[in-house]
Structure 1
Amino acid sequence: MRLGCHISIRNGYLGAAKHAISLNASAYQFFPKNPRSLSVKDYDSLDAKSCKDFCRERNLISVTHTPYPTSLTPTPDKKKAVIDSLLNDLEISEACGAIGTVVHFGSRINPKDPLSSYQLMIEMLDEVLSQWEGECKILLENNAGVRGSMGTSLEELVQVRNLCDYSEKIGFCLDTCHAYASGLWNGENWAEVAEKGGELGYFEHLYVIHLNNCKYPSGEGKDRHANIFGKGFIQEDQFTELIQSFVVNDIPFILETPNEEGITKAEEIEQLLKKWGK
């Protein structure tokens, strides 16, 4: 099981990679810059290269997560800022050796014209990726929200990728809390999800899984992450079915679970490896 968690870059990019190793992680996620800003960062290229070399030497996989304000369906006044920020995220991620940068699926901008949101998403992705020549991919993450909300189905994710002019530069990130909250995965239907994803070609382009429990029942649309064991509505046997499924073989699992519930990330990783590491 390739497992890790989200790591702060307060000690730099190399520092984050070293922190991941100290937690016995074999994968990790980090913000490439300030998570609350769309500003373009003039990053330390030597630190980034050191991070990339360190990860390569230790077979440590990393992904990044775009800042919270990043939206693939921005208002017109934010469009350029989002494009510039995303290109900056891709550049930093590539320099650090990350395989992709996670971006949340877009949100509905006009209830009377739902197609306009998808069209804007595709336009944004094409604008960014037409300027990007690196190996690092944009990884579209499924949304939480009630069933039927934008970004909650595998069909949407796959179709947006297929309709982009640069689909080869796009992959996916599956968030288990989001999938559970939306009802995509209700804990009992993983076989159905796996079959549907296989038919659509979703799992061929899945690069990372955000491994999170959910504090609310399936289908309520509430995006509240919980720790894996004993803190949420997803049961151990349900996680077992997902984690041991052949469709997610070799996919890294990244914890985005709470830190204030009395368990450290090192302890949670140890628990998970003991349960599912083999």
Structure 2
Amino acid sequence: MTTRPTHRRTLQPAVGGTALLLALSACSSSAGASSAGDVKGTVTVFAAASLKESFTELGEEFEAAHPGTKVTFSFGGSDALAASITSGAPADVFAAASPKTMQIVTDAKSAAGEPATFVRNQLEIAVVPGNPEDVATLEDLTEPGLKVALCAKEVPCGAAAQKALDGAGLRLTPVSYEQDVKSALTKVQLKEVDASVVYKTDVQAAAGKVEGVEFPESAGAVNDYPIVLLKDAPNAGAAEAFIALVRSGQGRKVLTEAGFLTP
């Protein structure tokens, strides 16, 4: 996974901070609301790679609203993150890119309460700037000689891509299967492949480094993103407050500006 600079968002002193605090007070996760005294210390969030830019921004806003807190993130493929959680990795919050990968955690009884869907995401074809191979449709990816990267089928973006291909009756053998969506996108950025199937949010985050090609089959393979407080969360109080921020109006604004769809 390649790290790219994150654009930081500064809270407006008279409006942003106040609105955020109100949102955190009004919203709660399925596990219950937090008191102001609980919002302290470090919150560890395991989140799908496609959430990197928006969650990093929300983490900064959370820390600004609660001096003395720190939000640390582990971004990656949802399946790998779920496996880490069920193997005992210490974390407070899990945000997955599909209900199927979240179910790994709930089936293992590692979640505290029911996960809540907070956004949705749709696929897009990422191509090299200028689209030199003239990719215009999903079917174009099956052309001989075209180099394509896909997410591994176990990863939500890979499962969604396969669903779209199956729905269109297409067979595609990529040159590589990647372990998360950012890795698939990086293949295009480095011009190691001609195209990859990623999320619209990833194309938007990499503006100028790739171009996006929409395709109608993506409408039948939209992923829901659930979030949950983990059962053995080391900092449950602050974790609940972070989930409340993600699900608040302020959180939704950040996420939709990043290209995510509302549930």
| TM-score normalised according to structure 1 size | 0.30
**Quick check: which one's strand share is greater?**
2
| TM-score normalised according to structure 2 size | 0.31
Name which structure has the greater RCO, CA cutoff 8 Å, separation 6+: 2
